[in-house]
Each structure stands twice: as structure tokens, then as C-alpha cells.
Amino acid sequence: MEGCMAFDKELNLEATELRLGLPGIKESEKQPSSTIKSNKRAFPNMDEKSCGSKDSSKASHAQKCNQEIASPSKAQVVGWPPVRSYRKNCFQAKTMEAEAAGVYLKVSMDGAPYLRKIDLKIYKGYPELLKALEDMFKFSMGEYSESEGYNNGSEFVPTYEDKDGDWMLVGDVPWDMFISSCKRLRIMKGSEARGLGCAV
């Protein structure tokens, strides 16, 4: 029994748990799901939820709705703005295509039994990506410096395989170049990574 528990801990199931959500977001941070009305009509916008418009027809509805507008979750109101479904559908496809065309990559970490997949497109730069990786795999990698790579005695180091099949240190090339050339990520044990920072 005890052996199992220890094994579970080591597996760190929570870290490798499959969830729908951005990597790094903990359970407690999740937005409370807004009430989804049972819509019998087929709406083109899959995010469409009814704003509590019935409740809002009270004296303070202006206030309430302003709050709703300010809230980060984009609750869509039925039939608002008044654009015909045909027109909405035409562009829905385009915006969704643009949003869906992510850059999905496998991320592995030495010692971890499961791979993860991330969409590089959602990150705007290295700091975000690295933070996400740290959160996802529950480790820290230390500061990056051009000359020394990831130092300060960090146990793990983020590396990636580029188009040519070479393993590079994450952070060496400009972000845009990185996005287009990175084929997969590997969080390597620091000891193995030595020498990578000097490559090129």
C-alpha cells in the first residue's frame, strides 16, 4: 500500500493529468462556468450563452450588464449584435480557422512518464513559455543567459529539436524563428544539457 502511495507521488499524476485548459492553470483558478441555457436552435457561435437578460430587466440592469461586459468570460447574448446567421457563419469559419491553426508540439521531460502537448501560438514570448513549462512539469529552470545558458544550478533545462534535427537550447534564437523551427521540446536534465548552450 505504502509503496503504491509513494509511486503515485512520484508519478505526479496531477502534473500529467489531461484537462481542458491552458497549461499552468490550477483547478482553483478556473472560471465558474456560466449557466448554459439549453438552446434548441442551432447557433453558429459555439460559445454562445444567454446573458441573464431576464434578470437584467430590473432597475439596476445597466450596472449589472456593465459588470458582465467587464468580466473576462465573453458571455454571448442570443441574437446580439443583430447580425444575420448567414453573415456570422461566413466569418465565424474564418476567425475560428485563424484561431485553431495553432502550432502543437510534444513536450517531454526526463524522468516524467507522460508527454505533454502545447500550442506554441498562445505564448507571446519566451518568458511566458518557460513559465508555462515550469508550471506544467513543476520544476524550475533558473535564469537564462546567452553566454551561460540556464545556470544557477537548475536541475532541468529546456531544449528543443529544430528542423535540422539538432538539439538546441530554448532561448538561443529569436522567438519568431523559434516558433517556425521548433519541432519538439524536451526538458533535459541539467547534466546532459551541458555543452548545448555553447553549440552553434
Partner 1 sequence: MSEDDDRSPPLDLRRADIAESSNKTRNCTGVSGSGGSVPGPGPSSMEFQAPYPDQVLENVLENVLQFLSSRRDRNAASLVCRSWWRVEALTRSDLFIGNCYSVSPRRATARFTRVRSVSIKGRPRFADFNLMPPDWGAHFAPWVTAMASAYPWLEKVYLKRMSVTYDDLALLAESFPSFKELVLVCCDGFGTSGLAVIASKCRQLKVLDLIESEVTDDEVDWIAFFPESGATCLESLIFDCVECPINFDALERLVARSPSLKKLRLNRFVSIGQLYLLMVRSPQLTHLGTGSFSATEGMAQGEQEPELFTAFAACRSLVCLSGFREILPDYLPDISPVCANLTSLNFSYAHINADQLKLVIFQCHKLQIFWVLDSICDEGLQAVASTCKDLRELRVFPFDAREDNEGPVSDLGLQAISEGCRKLQSILYFCQHMTNAAVIAMSRNCPDLEVFRLCIMGRHRPDRVTNEPMDEGFGAIVMNCKKLTRLAVSGLLTDRAFSYIGKYGKLVRTLSVAFAGDSDMGLKYVLEGCPRLQKLEIRDSPFGDAALRSGLHHYYNMRFLWMSSCRLFPQGCQEIARALPRLVVEVIRDDAIEHTDETVDILYMYRSLEGPRDDAPGFVTIMQ
Q: Please say whether the beta carbons of 157 and 141 come within 8 A.
A: yes
Contacts of 114 (CB under 8 A, 6+ apart): 16
Nearer to partner 1, 16 or 50 (CB): 50
**By CB under 8 A, residue 69 contacts partner 1:** yes
Cα(174)–Cα(185) distance, rounded to whole angstroms? Answer: 16
What the block records as the C-alpha cell of 10 is: 512520484
In terms of DSSP bridges, do strands 184-189 and 156-161 run parallel, antiparallel, or are they unpaired?
A: antiparallel
Decide whether 38 or 191 has the Cβ nearer to partner 1: 38
Q: Is residue 34 near partner 1 by the rule CB under 8 A?
A: no
Which residues make beta-bridge pairs with 187?
Answer: 109, 158
Q: Which is nearer to partner 1, 13 or 93 (CB)?
A: 93
C-beta of 14 vs 55, nearer to partner 1 = 55
Contact 49, 78 (CB under 8 A): no
Q: Are 184 and 106 in contact (CB under 8 A)?
A: yes
96 is a contact residue toward partner 1 (CB under 8 A): no
| Binding-residue pattern over the window 73 to 92 for partner 1, x denoting contact by CB under 8 A | -x-xxxxxxxxxxxxx-xx-
Q: Find the binder of partner 1 among 34, 56, 108, 154 (CB under 8 A).
A: 56
* Binding interface with partner 1 (CB under 8 A): 35, 37-41, 43, 50-59, 61-62, 65-66, 69, 74, 76-88, 90-91, 94-95
